[in-house]
Amino acid sequence: MDDKDTLADFLRSARARLTPTDVGVLVNPHAPARRVPGLRRDEVAGLAGVSVDYYARMEQGRVTQASDAVVNALAGVLHLNEAERSYLFSLLSASTGGRIQQRRRTHAVRTSVRTIMDSFTTQPAFVLGVGMDVLAMNDLAKLLLKDFTKASGLGRSMARWTFLDPSARTLYLDWDIVACDVAAMLRHDARSHPNDRDLNELIGELTVKSDEFRAWWSQHRVWECTFGVKRFEHPIVGRVDVDYETFPVPGEPDQQLFVYSTQPASASNDALRILASWRTDQTDAPALESIR
């Protein structure tokens, strides 16, 4: 799919998610039923301060560049989050020529970053790369989630595991929310690395094998995980609720360090401490995998 098709689908999907009430447009209750879901083109155009014809051509892929003022106006009207706003700029901004520079993915994680992760004895930590490829994990992250470092190729992708491994559905109490976010994160990566063979292979496999991914991918949501809460039902220690924070790895624009933490003196904190004491030698590690 080229940029003009991506832009058209993104704009149509974004306006379909909104209702007139969301943007303060009054609708005559006696008017005929609306023929399309969400906002109409003329409503988006009017609110953004552009002509209907101009916006229509934009959705048809016939406008490939726009001023920053227009892009910002559209982002505001369509209630885009920061990741989606940046995504729209990368597709349409005149200041970038509607293009982005292709980046090469990196796989190596610096020793200093690994040292930092290993110092978190009661906090799961891991580094994700393009396509949610798990590049490094500390021991507690391996026990809470899965030891992705034992896998190779697409098997190291947390996105692939989320959608195609049944254990992910039982581990995440809010699997549907997590999986929807994962699809939106892959959309973000796909824009940064449009020619990445492994990423395109991953997206293709998920599209074929997962109905849920196919549905969420078609919504063209874009998301960057920066902080939030995840809830787990772990096979060893039961319920674990964690807060997560994401930190960009300096000098590596496609690497993100994720750190999970729990509230002091909470049941989840106790659960992680118990899990941290779990022996991960050659005798115990296979036992944990078999439970999953």
Q: What is the pLDDT of residue 286?
A: 46
Q: What pLDDT sits at residue 102?
A: 55
Q: Is the pLDDT of residue 219 over 90?
A: no
Highest mean pLDDT among 60-74, 91-105, 143-157: 143-157
Residue 194 to residue 26: CA distance in whole angstroms: 40
Backbone angles phi, psi at 265, to 5 degrees: 60, 20
When mean pLDDT is compared over 11-15, 68-72, 84-88, 247-251, the highest value belongs to 247-251
The top-level CATH class assigned to 111-291 is alpha beta
DSSP secondary structure letter of residue 123: S
Q: What is the mean pLDDT of the chain?
A: 85
Whether pLDDT at 190 is above 70 = yes
pLDDT greater than 60 at residue 135: yes
pLDDT at 133: 97
pLDDT tens digit sequence for 76-122: 888 888 878 888 887 886 544 445 555 567 789 999 999 999 999 89
Distance between CA atoms of 228 and 35, rounded to whole angstroms? 37
pLDDT recorded at residue 211: 96
Instruction: Using a pLDDT cut of 90, give the percent of the chain over it.
Output: 50
Please tell me the predicted confidence (pLDDT) of residue 213: 96
Q: Following DSSP, what letter does each residue of 126-178 receive, concatenated?
A: EEE-GGGBEEEE-HHHHHHT--GGG--GGGGBHHHHHHH-HHHHHHBTTHHHH
CB atoms within 10 A of CB 70: 20
Mean per-residue pLDDT, 52-78: 87
Q: β-pairing, 256-261 with 125-128? A: antiparallel
- Quote the CA–CA distance of 35 and 12 in Å, as a whole number: 14
Q: Which of 207, 153, 208 is nearest to 183 (CA)?
A: 207
Q: Is 39 helix (H, G, I), strand (E, B) or coil?
A: coil
- pLDDT tens-digit series, residues 230-264: 999 999 999 999 999 999 999 898 999 999 999 99
Instruction: Give me 214's structure tokens.
Output: 């196919």
Query: pLDDT value at position 20?
Result: 79
Least confident range of 3-7, 27-31, 171-175, 234-238: 27-31
Q: What is the pLDDT of residue 260?
A: 98
What tokens appear for 7 in the block? 């832009």
Using alpha carbons, list the distances in angstroms from residue 80 to 56, 74, 190, 260: 19, 9, 18, 27
**Terminal alpha carbon distance of the chain:** 38
Neighbour-count burial for 161-197, b at 16+ CB within 10 Å, e otherwise: bbbbeeebeebbeebeebbbbbbbbbbbbbbbbeebe
Q: Side chain identity at 160, as an amino acid letter?
A: R
User: Which CATH architecture does the domain made up of 3-92 adopt?
Assistant: Orthogonal Bundle (1.10)
* Domains in the chain: boundaries: 3-92, 111-291
